[in-house]
Amino acid sequence: MLNQLRYYITGQAAGFPRYIWEQLIFGLFGWIPTVLGVGIRAVMYRLVIKMKGTAAIEYGVRLAYGSHITLGKRVYLDHGVYLHALPAGIAIGENTMVMHHSMLHVFNFRGLPHAGITIGKNCFIGEFNVFRGQGGITLGDDVYTGPQVQFVAVNHVFSNPNTPIREQGITAKGIVVEDDVWLGAGVTVVDGVTIGRGSVIGAGAVVTGDLPPYSIAVGVPAKRIKDRREMKPGDTPSDIFFGELEQLRRNI
């Protein structure tokens, strides 16, 4: 029982005193709704996480291993977001938004050398995204994801049919998504993949291999069907709209 309790606590914070301190801060201030709560957390959460400027954190955001979380200025964490940063950490760059019920998880219970999640600046992480960062996940700047996108930087070994899969270990090579990539709704990116800058991945695709820069890729498994640099003027829609968020970012 004591070993199980120790395992739980060390999976939530960097030691028992740190666990008590972080849970106290989260318990006192994590539930407060409205803009008042956002403002209070922008001040009080500095006691348990690293903030480079002011971050906006909605109520109901769950944070574990706060000492290993770094948020750039103007980062926004929506309601229901879950960040678990054991032990290599999670870093989110300035002006990046993580939308509701997305999960960024680095539960490195096997001592993996590259575990961690880094997201660049000016990114938008859509609703219900999942990041499994055991092998390391790096997103560059200006990366946009639709809802229910998954980055799974871990894989189970299953080569021996006579041994339960859970007892055969894992591999974890890591995932890299370079700058200015758009991943449509429901995309899955598996371990060991690099997606080159400027690429567009169609909804529902499963990316199982590297994609060169400026790829347009679709399907299961994802196949490159075009180079964005070969697109013609006629390929650009005529009815283009720009959101208020992008206007605000340009004026910062």
- The Cα 126–Cα 64 span in angstroms is 21
* pLDDT for 111: 75
Question: 34-38, 200-204, 227-231: lowest mean pLDDT where?
Answer: 227-231
Residue-wise pLDDT tens digits, 149-160: 999 999 999 999
All domains in the chain, ordered by first residue = 15-224 (2.160.10.10)
**Catalytic site residue 105?**
no
Residue-wise pLDDT tens digits, 41-74: 999 999 999 999 999 999 999 999 999 999 999 9
Residue 148 has pLDDT above 70, yes or no: yes
Query: Residue 221: is the preceding peptide bond cis (ω within 30°)?
Result: yes
- The Cα 136–Cα 214 span in angstroms is 23
Residue-wise pLDDT tens digits, 107-144: 766 678 788 999 999 999 999 999 999 999 999 999 99
Residue 245 has pLDDT above 80, yes or no: no
- The Cα 197–Cα 211 span in angstroms is 9
Percent of the chain with pLDDT over 90: 78
Residue 166 has pLDDT above 70, yes or no: yes
Residue 94 has pLDDT above 70, yes or no: yes
**Catalytic residue, candidates 79, 100, 105, 156:** 156
Residue 14 has pLDDT above 70, yes or no: yes
- The Cα 109–Cα 7 span in angstroms is 10
Which residues, in sequence order, are CB contacts of 209 under 8 Å at separation 6+?
Answer: 193, 221, 222
